[in-house]
């Protein structure tokens, strides 16, 4: 059941995990029951007019908490990174997450048995990694994470994916870890038509992923991090072209089927 809340929640921690990266964990009470992989929250940041969207990184059922991974890129995230305790106002969970039931693919069948002829492939670029971890933890059949970033220090929480049983293939633009170049350079030779693909990252990466997936007839989902203002479908500030029609990324997405997206 979809339900959203606009409430004040207590910060458990907001700690630095890399040069420009932070992990924020918030106690959200029973709101955790409504959080799905691929959904997001709008976080109110004191001194900043519009709330900022952040994908759900992880949900902890025992702690009744949700966590976010974010990069400091501007005023809002800079202020947020300095708030170490107290209360934050969160609106969410918002948007549509990964509708795993909508794919007739054995690799995402979480309830029944699944065949072993296709693999689950996650492709993440930069902070796109934040919105795919809870997906990776929910998929019964573990697969391979293809993760590209600028440099080794931008590759976050790899151990968490490995602990879940995911293989990792890495790339960095400066060659400090893994393949030197873009993750999409090495994807084509690994991808089979029977695989199921999940991708989140910057638009140039997603464009390339869509091209590769469509050429090979691979199905799956992409999550779009289009800029947002209201997060609720009211301001029309986040229009994306889906199946030839204008859709709101915040309300109709941010996760869409590969075959429907034009970038």
Ligand X SMILES: Cc1cc2nc3c(=O)[nH]c(=O)nc-3n(C[C@H](O)[C@H](O)[C@H](O)COP(=O)(O)OP(=O)(O)OC[C@H]3O[C@@H](n4cnc5c(N)ncnc54)[C@H](O)[C@@H]3O)c2cc1C
Residues lying near ligand FES in the complex (CB under 6 A): 228-231, 233-238, 248-250
The answer to the question of residue 16 lying near ligand X (CB under 6 A) is no
Closest approach of ligand X to the CB of residue 135, in Å:
13
Closest approach of ligand X to the CB of residue 33, in Å:
21
The answer to the question of residue 92 lying near ligand X (CB under 6 A) is no
Residue 240, phi-psi category: left (phi > 0), alpha (psi -120 to 50), beta (remainder): beta
- 3-state class (DSSP) for residue 211: helix
Q: Kindly list the distances between the CA atom of residue 243 and the CA atoms of 134, 215, 256, 258, 262, in Å, as whole numbers in the listed order.
A: 27, 17, 10, 10, 7
Residue 231 partner contact from ligand X, ligand FES, none using kind-dependent CB cut-offs of 5 to 8 Å: ligand FES
Peptide bond into 252 cis (omega under 30): no
Span of 28-36, 124-132, 179-187, 239-247 interacting with ligand X by CB under 6 A: 124-132
The answer to whether 34 touches 1, Cβ cutoff 8 Å, is yes
Please give the structure tokens belonging to residue 150.
């600028």
173 or 226, CB closer to ligand X? 226
36-75 residues near ligand X, rule: CB under 6 A: 40, 52-55, 68-71, 73-75
CB neighbour list of residue 257: distance below 8 Å, 6 or more residues apart: 102, 103, 219, 220, 221
93 or 231, CB closer to ligand FES? 231
Residue ranges binding ligand X (CB under 6 A)? 40, 52-55, 68-71, 73-77, 127, 130-131, 225-228, 254
């Amino acid at each position: 059941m979809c339900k959203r809340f606009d409430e004040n929640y207590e910060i458990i921690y907001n700690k630095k995990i890399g040069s420009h990266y932070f992990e924020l964990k918030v106690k959200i009470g029973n709101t955790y029951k409504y959080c799905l992989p691929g959904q997001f929250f709008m976080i109110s940041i004191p001194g900043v007019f519009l709330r900022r969207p952040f994908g759900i990184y992880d949900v902890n059922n025992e702690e009744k908490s949700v966590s976010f991974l974010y990069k400091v890129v501007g005023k809002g995230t800079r202020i947020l990174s300095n708030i170490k305790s107290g209360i934050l106002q969160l609106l969410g969970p918002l948007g549509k997450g990964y509708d795993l039931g909508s794919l007739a693919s054995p690799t995402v069948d979480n309830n029944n048995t699944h065949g072993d002829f296709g693999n689950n492939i996650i492709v993440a670029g930069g902070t796109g990694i934040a919105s795919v971890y809870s997906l990776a933890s929910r998929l019964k059949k573990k697969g391979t994470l293809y993760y590209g970033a600028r440099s080794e220090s931008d590759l976050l929480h790899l151990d968490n994916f490995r602990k879940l049983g995911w293989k990792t293939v890495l790339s960095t633009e400066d060659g400090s870890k893994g393949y030197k170049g873009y993750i999409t350079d090495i994807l084509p030779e690994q991808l089979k038509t029977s695989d199921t693909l999940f991708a989140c990252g910057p638009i140039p990466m997603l464009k390339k992923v869509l091209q590769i997936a469509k050429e090979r007839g691979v199905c799956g989902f992409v999550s779009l991090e289009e800029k947002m203002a209201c997060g609720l479908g009211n301001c029309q500030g986040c229009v994306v072209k889906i199946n030839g029609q204008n859709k709101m990324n915040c309300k109709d997405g941010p996760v869409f089927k590969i075959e429907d997206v034009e970038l």
